A and B are shown apart, each in its own frame.
Chain A
Amino acid sequence: MRSWSDGWRRVFAAPAIIAGVFVVTLLTALPLAGVMGVAMNQHLGASLMANEAADGVNYDWWQEFASQGNFLSLGSTFTPSILGFAATLDSFSSLLDRRPIIPAIGIALAVYMVAWLFLSGGILDRYARGRRTGAYGFFAASGVFFFRFLRLGIAAGIVYGFLFVYVHEWLFTKWYVNVTRDLSVERTVFYWRLLMYAIFGGLLGLTTTIFDYAKVRAVVEDRRSMTWALVAALRFLVRNPLRVVALYVANAATFLVAVAAWALIAPGAGGAGLSMWVAVIATQGYVLARLLVKLQFLASETALFQRSLAHVGYAAAQATVRPEPPIVETMFDRSA
């Protein structure tokens, strides 16, 4: 729990990072939303159908628009699932059920993930130091670790590829189908599906955790070899399984609380004008909460790692224009 609370402390101690990742999330989504808006505007034109669509839901127009061959095929994603909490269900169901993604969305996802790879170095560096590093320091660290994390990302991509292409296929298309083929009770089949989700989700969680700690070790210890960072992360997990799992469970529980709260308050379609902006604020608040939880994973994992190893009890040195790796700072700190 100390790492968990320490993680939150570090997250909130760096509001610029929160704002930064929020802006990145917004900027990644904004261009496609703009394309969507233009397509909708063109389709509605000067039609009276826009009145009902503005004031509430015009499902007649909605279906008509979604069936058009919109630019980048984005129209096909304009389904009721965009409304309220359904969006969250839809995205998790899409991930766990391995639903196909249209190219435009796939590109946005790729861009977003690469952006996270880039920012992760600076974020972890900031959380590891526990003090301001400034924009220059942040982006310098991001730049230093970007190509290392890119290599790590390629390794992660291979593992995820294996999980999604082979393991998912085996779990959901072979095992699940075979084991439920003769079952005539839906509840029993659902429990089997839950088991598959648990296994697959567990594997995804384990993979993410390993690669997270590899990044943490890479940053905190200024590791250049990502292979050895991975090995070191595995070693850390093997030596501290209970603490790692406990922290993961605490963070996952935090995430579930955020999602459950969103399920209760997520706004419906609403109208244009004030209610639209209220809905925007609510949805962006939810996005922010999700980002905070994501940052908390990184910060608390950093805290746990630093708390667990002898050489990381460093105090932040004076700010330098070009920050040295945390381990070097630690050495300077001790020699002083």
Chain B
Amino acid sequence: MRRRLAVFFSGIGLVYASMAAGSQLYDQPAAGARSPRNASYDIDVQLEHGDRSLHGRERIRWRNTSAHPTSELQFHLYWNAWRNADSTWLRERRLGGNTTTPRSDAWGWTDVRVLRVRLGDRLFGLQTRYIAPDDGNTADRTVIAVTLPGPVAPNETIEIDLEWSAKIPRPFSRTGYIDDYYFFGQWFPKLGVLEDAGWNTHQFHSGTEFYSDYGVYDVRMTVPRGFVVGASGRELDVKDNPNGTTVHHFHGEDIHDFAWTASPHFVERTRTFEHPSLPRVQMRLLLQPEHAGQEARHFAATAAALKYYGEWFGAYPYGNITIVDPAFQSGSGGMEYPTLFTAGTRWIAPARVTVPESVTIHEAGHQFWYGIVGSNEFEHAWMDEGINQFSEARADEAAFTPNYIVRRYFGGFIPWVFRDIRVTRQIDEGLSNYRLQAESDAEATPSFRYWPSTGGNITYYKTALWLHTLERSLGWPTLQRIMLSYFDRWKFRHPQPFDFFQAVSEGAARDMTPFFDEVYRGSNTFDYGVQQLVSAAAGTGRFRTTVVARRFGEATFPVDVVTTFADGSQKSEHWDGVDRRRIYVYDGASRARSVQVDPQRILLLDVNYTNNSRTLEPRASEASLKWSLRWMAWLQDALLTYAFLV
């Protein structure tokens, strides 16, 4: 492992050093390229529509970017997660509460028939073996390893040829088929990432995603004539074969994955994103016919992501992007792949409800946090999902305000929009989701080891909440500079958590370690509150006000305590939030009216904000009367509906 000394100075002259893990020795961009391009794929694949299978040949040019030679290669065979019921993916899905056994026609798998490696002038046929580096599960076949006839030195390049066949599953984890709609994600044998510490090739887990090196993808897809194909990269040419098939040739550079879709029913639309200071991007939308009329919403949301992410973090460099509107029940919605993503809308999609906008912004946003900054999603899912969740919420707010809460009834088909409840970043349900499982895992736990059903709330919502907190604490200009700097430093590379923390501390000009100790390394919750507010007469025209602020949660964060008096004056105190309590006593001519801990709601992670304030003129009885009466009407409605039966 290579050591990196990171030294920086805070405003008070703090100096510290730390170690970073996982950075590569030769991960600088290749000549004339944006990325190292150390794992490039040429793939020919044929879709057999009749028996729902893929048959492919691929050549990988791989360069060892680590500091050490290697005598082994490791590959992902993701589709083998659905090869048998004892795969790690299906075991974890059961742990997460989904005990449904896939039907007999649902399974999918990949078989590698041939694997050859060219070392120098010689070609070696190699035997594959299944390994299970994460859990030792011998029934799991999502990772194979081969032993090379000789070592590959650092910065040395080899070529690997594979021939494989795959059974296309019914939709699992955003990939598979339904009717004549296909979506192919993680569909080809793919190399793991060789780091200085060794191969980073995790098994496929139900709760986490992927990690791979950057390269150039040149892919020819043969499909039945009449199918519309969308894919990562840019389409170079289309050729009809005499046998009723068509070959679509796509090429993508500086990307770390390749996904594609095919269906005869796509309605194709294109539009150009233009911005005075950002590169032009050709947007291609493949829409389901039943969503005709929602083109503008998809394009507007994609453009919003390109605009705001581009302005805040850095430009989208690829020049084209494909938006796939997935078929109903395809299970492929809301997923990101380089230069292509799947959105997700409904047949009835009311205006001013951020579906499809929010999912489109989110997945388009992943082009930045995942596509360009290529973090390890197996281990640090928060680095793409969480950061992107935060970014998406900002872009949503900037582009699509106001928008409202919606609930769906009758099997989810009939939406009802609640114009009384506007969605804001404060109440976008992130906090309510996080609150439910706040202590389930520390973010520092490798994401694939999270309890299967809890990862989302930690990965997405906790991260977004602490980033919102950082924004409120440092100010958006500072946080934006931090994220821009981090983006610029780590684009087309594989950052580690420390790299982000370092960027934050540098940008904040102070050591942010205590903050990350709480939100990243720990699973404690934040809960500050007011224990007591007393304001009593103390002599003629004088009042003594006593305020007791409490820290109810284990986690600490500095907060303000503001007391407001009847004459409108305020006393503001800054509390470091470390002690369990803090008492403030004020003598003055005015009686206190209220006190608030963290009145600006800086600490958005506070799981109980109701106890953060106390007033001597409470209106709880008014509020509770109003809401209990509204709730009673709901109950009466239910009583009447069920009374239909008698």
Contacts and interface: CB of A to CB of B under 8 A. Distances in A.
Contacts of B180: 184
B104 interface: no
B419 interface: yes
A182 B418 contact: no
B328 A183 contact: yes
B529 to A, nearest CB: 9
Interface stretch (A11-19, A60-68, A125-133): A60-68
A80 B406 CA distance: 9
Contact of A40 (B181, B608, B627, B641): B627
Contacts of A120: 646
A91 B616 CA distance: 39
A90 B634 contact: yes
A59 B290 CA distance: 34
Interface string A76-92: 01111111011111111
A57 B421 contact: yes
Q: Which of A34, A37, A108, A270: most chain B Cβ within 10 A?
A: A37
A24 to B, nearest CB: 9
Contact of B618 (A46, A117, A208): A46
Contact of A86 (B416, B426, B614, B631): B416
Nearest to A56: B420
B633 interface: yes
A280 B632 CA distance: 10
B411 interface: yes
A90 B624 CA distance: 22
Given A47-B613, A269-B630, A113 B645 contact: yes
B296 interface: no
B439 interface: no
Interface string A102-143: 000100110011001100100000000000000000000000
Contacts of B639: 25, 28-29, 108-109, 112
Contacts of A81: 407, 634
A67 B407 contact: no
Contacts of B2: none
Contacts of B405: 59, 80
Contacts of B624: 37-38, 40-41, 44, 50
A312 interface: no
A241 interface: no
Contacts of A49: 609-610, 613
Interface stretch (A217-225, A231-239, A283-291, A313-321): A283-291
B71 interface: no
Contact of A193 (B178, B410, B641): B410
B420 A268 contact: yes
A261 interface: no
A90 B635 CA distance: 10
A145 to B, nearest CB: 13
Contacts of B274: none
Interface in A191-226: 193, 197, 204, 208, 211
Interface in A18-53: 25-26, 28-30, 32-34, 36-38, 40-41, 43-51, 53
Given A80-B421, A120-B646, A54 B409 contact: no
B407 A92 contact: no
Counting chain B residues whose Cβ lies within 8 A of the other chain, the interface size class is 35 or more
Nearest to A94: B638
Interface stretch (A1-9, A271-279, A303-311, A324-332): A271-279
Contact of B427 (A40, A59, A186, A273): A59
Contacts of B646: 113, 116-117, 120, 153, 156, 211
Contacts of B633: 82, 87, 280, 283-284, 286-287
A95 interface: yes
A88 B643 CA distance: 13
A43 to B, nearest CB: 6
B538 interface: no
A50 B645 contact: no
Given A50-B622, A87-B634, A89-B414, A294 B435 contact: no
A170 interface: no
Contact of A204 (B436, B609, B625, B645): B645
A112 B642 CA distance: 9
A41 B178 CA distance: 51
A274 to B, nearest CB: 11
B330 interface: yes
A276 B635 contact: no
Given A83-B418, A268-B420, A291-B640, A30 B623 contact: no
B629 interface: yes
Interface string B579-595: 00000000000000010
B346 interface: yes
B278 to A, nearest CB: 35
A268 B419 contact: yes
Contacts of B427: 59-60, 63
Given A51-B619, A80-B407, A96-B410, A184 B328 contact: yes
Interface in A140-191: 153, 156, 160, 180-187, 189-190
B440 to A, nearest CB: 15
A227 interface: no
A186 B608 CA distance: 40
Contacts of B643: 112-113, 116, 294
Contact of B611 (A29, A45, A97, A286): A45
Contacts of A160: 645
Contacts of B615: 46-48, 51
A67 B368 CA distance: 34
Given A120-B646, A190-B413, A40 B635 contact: no
Contacts of A270: 626
A211 B644 CA distance: 11
A108 B85 CA distance: 44
B347 interface: yes
B637 interface: yes
A272 B594 contact: no
Given A57-B420, A109-B639, A204-B645, A50 B623 contact: yes
B356 to A, nearest CB: 13
B5 interface: no
B591 to A, nearest CB: 15
A185 B633 CA distance: 37
Interface string B389-429: 00000000000000001010111011010111100001101
Nearest to B628: A37
Given A96-B410, A208-B644, A269 B620 contact: no
B596 interface: yes
A113 B623 contact: no
Best-surrounded residue of A113, A181, A190 (most CB of chain B within 10 A): A190
Which of A34, A41, A85, A95 is the most central at the interface, judged by chain B CB atoms within 10 Å of its CB? A41
Contact of B328 (A38, A92, A185): A185
Nearest to B423: A59
A40 B622 CA distance: 10
Contacts of A204: 644-645
B489 to A, nearest CB: 36
A182 B178 contact: yes
A278 B624 CA distance: 17
A29 B635 contact: yes
Contacts of B413: 186, 190, 193
11 contacts: A44-B623, A61-B609, A63-B429, A90-B407, A90-B637, A97-B411, A108-B639, A184-B181, A268-B420, A284-B633, A291-B640
**Which 3 A-B pairs give the minimum distances between C-beta atoms?**
A37-B628, A33-B632, A40-B624
Given A53-B626, A97-B411, A271-B626, 16 more contacts: A29-B632, A40-B627, A44-B623, A47-B614, A54-B622, A56-B420, A80-B421, A82-B630, A83-B418, A93-B414, A113-B642, A186-B328, A187-B290, A193-B410, A269-B421, A283-B629
Interface of B: 178-181, 288-290, 327-330, 346-347, 405, 407, 409-411, 413-414, 416, 418-421, 426-427, 429, 431-432, 435-436, 533, 594, 596, 608-616, 618-646
